[in-house]
Structure 1
Amino acid sequence: MDLRIFTEPQQGASYETLLSVAKATEDLGFDAFFRSDHYLTMGGTGLPGPTDAWLTLAGLARETSRIRLGTLMTAATFRLPGVLAIQVAQVDAMSGGRVELGIGAGWFEAEHTAYGIPFPREKFPRLEEQLAIVTGLWGTPVGERFSYEGDHYRLVDSPALPKPVQERVPVLIGGMGKERTPRLAARYADEFNVPFVSVEDSAAQFGRVREAAEAAGRKPDELVYSNALVACVGRDDAEVARRAAAIGREVDELRANGLAGSPAEVVDKIGRYAEAGSSRIYFQILDLDDLAHLELIAEQVAPQLP
């Protein structure tokens, strides 16, 4: 089971805070540091204010050496696809080939209006075109040109540069859409992620993606299947309650919907997600000042997992 750290900096985090979490992620043996791509808090003041996902990852690329770096999920509404392809390829080079691109359609209208970003009505078709363009640019042989004519984007005679360092940057797609999302994942994804859902719902969605992959002529096991779940782990009930209070959540709700409780409880819950088909867990860490939380997971959860 791969274990990754996933952060939500729009809730309030400076680059320095994110750097401390990323370094702890690396030092404690986790596989990757991922972050959301949002510009507006979803509760609270959000101070000191948002940080840009790809600027953050560019900085972390130069200040870490082992962990994978990526987004859950880059909003397709925030960036033009040609620009996004350049940004991700550059950060991949800056990291020595450690970048992964999680991308979604974008959904939070308020952050768009707050920062003057257009919020299109037809978001999913734009996401599909972005995936075609980004992967098409990266896949175009050096010296050849890339053109694309879609309903939303048009590229003419692009040199399709720069190229990522990796032969293929892993692309992550996720969500609970029952038809279009599995079809898109079957065509473009290296990993399929379901965020904040039950074991049963995860198994059902993984099954839809596997069926879509087969229909598309891919082997279902070519994809990685993963879950993102809020973490609230404690050595005893008092520590669990303290960590739940720090993020404004109820312990019972976290136990039902996340990875909460003692290390043993969390290991058991992860085992059930593994039985549903998951081979990678993203621990959503909401209190970024509590590095002892990461230490506990690394010391008492990770060693008990296969």
Structure 2
Amino acid sequence: MTENFKLRIFTEPQQGATYDDLLRVAKHAEATGYDAFFRSDHYLKMGSVTGEPGPTDAWVTLAGLARETSRLRLGTLMTAGTFRLPGPLAIAVAQVDQMSGGRIELGLGSGWYEEEHTAYGIPFPSLKERFDRYAEQLEIITGLWATPPGEHFRFDGEHYQLADSPALPKPVQRPRPPVLIGGLGKKRTPELAARYADEFNLPFIDVDTAAAQFERVGEACRAIGRDAGEIVRSAALVLCVGKDEQDIARRAEAIGRDVEELRLNGLAGTPAEAVDKIGTWRERTGITRLYLQVLDLSDLDHLDLVASEVAPQL
């Protein structure tokens, strides 16, 4: 891949994938030059698929991949703040960062999918409370990692209180693993990104909506005196690229999507079409990373095609 623009693989294993499936894709992504392997953090399938054999835990998965890969960046889009207490999450991510030799990135969101909470007995507060907790979680996790060795961390919030925490273990990456934030909220989301984000990600939206939201993040940065250029801009699009129309149609059918809809809303078409669309996104939004949502994890030739015929033209 080119140094200034990164293609990353993004998977949705709650739709039906084992750890071995994810390991196979991650190793292939590493071998073919992709920059990173990311996965969603969900416990319940979406849509008409069966979801069998059932969900895999995001951070257990990434711990395994940390030991089975050597170069790939690894992370989540996005870990739900409702799933884990912030202190234990900071410990888990720091440990996996150590296990990977410093290749972990934490995408963190407030949580949104109510049905998975109901299915597995996870509390699902109101949107306001989820976002209030999310703001505290970001402050706690980044604060624990930033606490100098030998010092202690305290936090007295509305939802979380930490007293005399040794703030251990420390991640390998200093001052911390990159923190990814995303979403279309017009006020609080940009404000939190300005304070905490190393990368701001927008998944599955059109380029005009993305450009407007990136500008809101920039405005929030300027409001607190932060250089907006410090925050990496990225997007995620579903992948459906083929060498010809027959190939494209076959891949669209395999994931239950319409070709023309994918051409409009995803990264679909021939390699030349994909290059053109990425160029439009780069020009209009300033993204430097694109997460390719791979929904058919058995189709490794799909990754090969993009690596050989799209990436070199970026």
Partner of 1:51: 56
- Aligned position for 2:12: 8
Name the amino acid aligned to 1:197: I
Match of 1:233 among 241, 252, 255: 241
Q: CA deviation at 1:140?
A: 0.5
Question: d(CA) in 2 for partners of 1:179 and 1:194?
Answer: 15
Shift of 1:212: 0.7
Partner of 2:183: 175
1:17-56 superposed matches below 5 A: 17-43=21-47, 44-56=49-61
Q: Please name the residue that 1:140 is paired with.
A: 147
Q: Secondary structure at the match of 1:295?
A: helix
How far off its partner does 1:35 sit? 0.2
The one-letter code matched in structure 1 to 2:12 is E
- Equivalent position of 1:111 in the other structure: 116
**What is the CA RMSD across the aligned residues, in angstroms?**
0.6
Gaps of 5+ in 2: none
CA distance in 2, matches of 1:32, 1:208: 27
What SS does the aligned partner of 1:130 have?
A: helix
1:287 maps to which of 277, 291, 296: 296
1:61 alignment counterpart: 66
Cα-to-partner distance string for 1:250-294 (whole Å, 9 max, x where unaligned): 011100001000000000000011012111100000000100000
Look up the SS of the partner of 1:88 in the other structure: helix
Per the alignment, residue 197 of structure 1 pairs with 205
Q: CA deviation at 1:36?
A: 0.1
How far apart are 1:229 and its partner, in Å?
Answer: 0.5
| 3-state SS in 1 of match to 2:173 | coil
Which amino acid letter does the alignment assign opposite residue 119 of structure 1?
A: F
3-state SS in 2 of match to 1:100:
strand
Shift of 1:192: 0.3
What are the ranges of 5 or more consecutive residues in structure 1 without an aligned counterpart? none
AA paired with 2:37?
Answer: F
Distance 1:140 1:197 in 2: 37
Q: Using the TM superposition, give the Cα deviation of residue 31 of structure 1 relative to its aligned residue in structure 2, in angstroms.
A: 0.3
With structure 2 as the length reference, what TM-score do the two structures score? 0.96
- The alpha carbon displacement at 1:26 in A equals 0.3
Deviations 1:105-142 (A, max 9, x none): 00001000101111111111111000000000000011
1:176 is paired with a residue whose SS is: coil
Q: Secondary structure of the equivalent of 2:310?
A: helix
2:137 aligned with 1:130: yes
Which residue is equivalent to 1:273?
281
| Aligned pair partner of 2:220 in 207, 212, 226 | 212
Q: Note the C-alpha offset of 1:28.
A: 0.5
Question: What secondary structure sits across from 1:90 in the alignment?
Answer: helix
SS in 2 for 1:187: helix
Distance 2:224 2:36 in 1: 29
Classify the secondary structure of the residue corresponding to 1:87: helix
Find the counterpart in structure 2 of residue 100 from structure 1: 105
Hey, what's the Cα distance between the residues in 1 that align with 2:130 and 2:261? Answer: 31
